[in-house]
Structure 1
């Protein structure tokens, strides 16, 4: 696998295994978050060669960004990494509302710059469409921030095809982030081809399908948390998937990597996908994710793994 790739046509070059920071400092999303472990996880990610960090305001209501900024300042590594973050949410107690207005996005970028302790953000996403602001107006605001040097690339996340096409009316969208994995490949029908045609990089989130494609679950050991309510974790569908996942063990032995590494490497072999951003809440998880770089899958092997889950 190549050690560094360009994200679409952005000019941003990164190691294709990024660092998804959704658990870093994310007290609002996960229980028992230990910030010292979060700090050490970021430090280890840097040591292990991760140079693409993907955060968002909603990951700890800004705390993920603050911890990343703190460690980059501590280590002096800001210039070595590509920083991505997202905004769209206004949180007031239990109330959450979405805002894509130019005024909100302009302020959100300024606040993110402070939290990250930097004077530019490499990739800034609109995290969710608000359903009110015309998408091209929202992206136009980010284009002005790009021209001002505050951000280097423009992204949208969780936009459907209609909203994406509207957002990209002027050709300003550089990156799309959305839910995708080998077991829910629906976006291969329209969004990913659109991204390829328009030289937009597609970055999948949940490429490991919330852990279902890691090999850690079995018929006797299904997840006991919120995941057990999801369709793919129930009944015959669940049993079929874990049987297919288990069949990858021969490939893992051949390449001396984990099942998760095989899945991530396969995902990276899909046209239009330049990088993946698996999450990590501990140093060991970072090290495990980065071993994906050792999975030198052939085109034939990538095709076989993809066909397995069709």
Structure 2
């Protein structure tokens, strides 16, 4: 039954029989047969079928909610029994906002040193998508903003509060400053994260509070693109301090603190609310608590 519920979850995620089967590592006929068997077992139609996947029926939507809960509980039980037998093992799927990727590296490195049987799959994504991925059981935890968008019922560990830095070429007129203000940056040639990124929306609000209307001539969802653009000269960008310091190290760029931020936000680890957490997630949360005092901004 668990395997068939996982088929329903995969089909709802992929919205395509072929892709869902591929994601599960099974054939499409096996997936179709499994969904039909689940429908027969429950006595209701779950999937609208035609020449292609037509969505879930209302009964299918309700079954999907229950399936996620049952499959999640099953995975937690399996993980707990495995931990009792073998110690902490398994792969943690971590979704991370782009500006927190350096912190993802801190967390993963510390966790794997303490628990060598644990590995990580780290994916860069938006804060809005992290909640969706958690709800869909596609990630186990996320690094995201804790206080700027609704997260639902989750467990959290704060890692740091964002402080913002200007990143510019070392020959830029602002490079020698001890600090700059948001007002200083309004006339600069900016490259920034794309508007779907929450960090960009926070930056825009800080500019607005300073009475500045900035113009970004280059936008990207990658901090690497922003850093490479700045290194060419002619552009500047704005990043949280930890990411800024990492990207300027050993390069012809510098990071200058921005004074007077009207808005800053807490960033931390989020996981699905559980009582208790699986041993692996409990260890991950403890590791986050351990590194936060050492590295908090």
Query: What TM-score does the superposition give when structure 2 sets the normalisation length?
Result: 0.28
User: How does the TM-score come out when normalised to structure 1?
Assistant: 0.27
